[in-house]
Amino acid sequence: MASERELRARAYRAKAEAELSGLAARGVVAGGNAFSSVLLAKGELTDEEAGGAAAFSGADGAALKASLARLGYAPEDWATLLTCEDDLRTPLAPEVLREAVCTLDPVTVVLCDEPAADAFREAYADELSAIGDFQQAMLVPGHVADVLGMRVMALGGFAAALASGDKGRKQAMWHWLKQLPPLAEPF
């Protein structure tokens, strides 16, 4: 006979599996480790991703994961989310994006490009409009906004900055990411 604790753990797992399966059935593309403290979101795919590679499997994903590790996050403490449906063209409906973010329950959300930031602005318009600081409310790249208890930062084109080879743009991205250290003990 299973203990109450084991039964509760099974119920939580079943609930999470049902929620994630439901999102996938509605076109949500997510990866990494669900329920991690960091959610990396993008809406603009690299050529490799558009050709079928997994999201964040290229240079941008490797650089973001290395940056998180350098900040003190555990190597597996990230999840990914595309702000477009599994057809890789249609933006997620705002309510579906909200549901996906709420299901994954991150502490920190990094919006890697403008399409992701636009989708987040639309999905969380009411919460963003209540923020007093204009830069934060508009998700201006490099500014951390507190949205429903999540730290949210737009990077305004991480993959493009990497691809450009512009050392100044890459340094700006790193400077911005340093504002998002782990909230718990570093790994």
* pLDDT surpassing 90 at residue 183: no
pLDDT value of residue 186: 59
pLDDT value of residue 103: 93
CA proximity to 115, closest of 91, 79, 144, 141: 91
pLDDT value of residue 185: 61
Q: Is residue 91 part of a domain?
A: yes
Average pLDDT over residues 18-26: 92
Q: Is residue 185 part of a domain?
A: no
Q: Is residue 184 part of a domain?
A: no
Q: Is residue 77 part of a domain?
A: yes
Give the predicted TM-score (pTM) of the model: 0.92
**138-171 per-position pLDDT tens digit:** 999 999 999 999 999 999 999 999 889 899 999 9
Q: Is residue 11 part of a domain?
A: yes
**53-111 per-position pLDDT tens digit:** 889 999 999 999 999 999 999 988 999 999 998 888 889 999 999 999 999 999 999 99
Tokens encoding 40: 């990396």
Q: Is residue 173 part of a domain?
A: yes
What distance in Å separates the CA atoms of residue 169 and residue 166, rounded to the nearest whole number? 5
**Residue 27 sits in which domain range?**
4-177
* pLDDT surpassing 70 at residue 124: yes
Q: Is residue 187 part of a domain?
A: no
Overall domain count for the chain: 1
Q: Is residue 121 part of a domain?
A: yes
pLDDT value of residue 89: 85
pLDDT value of residue 46: 86
* pLDDT surpassing 60 at residue 187: no
104: domain CATH number is 3.40.470.10
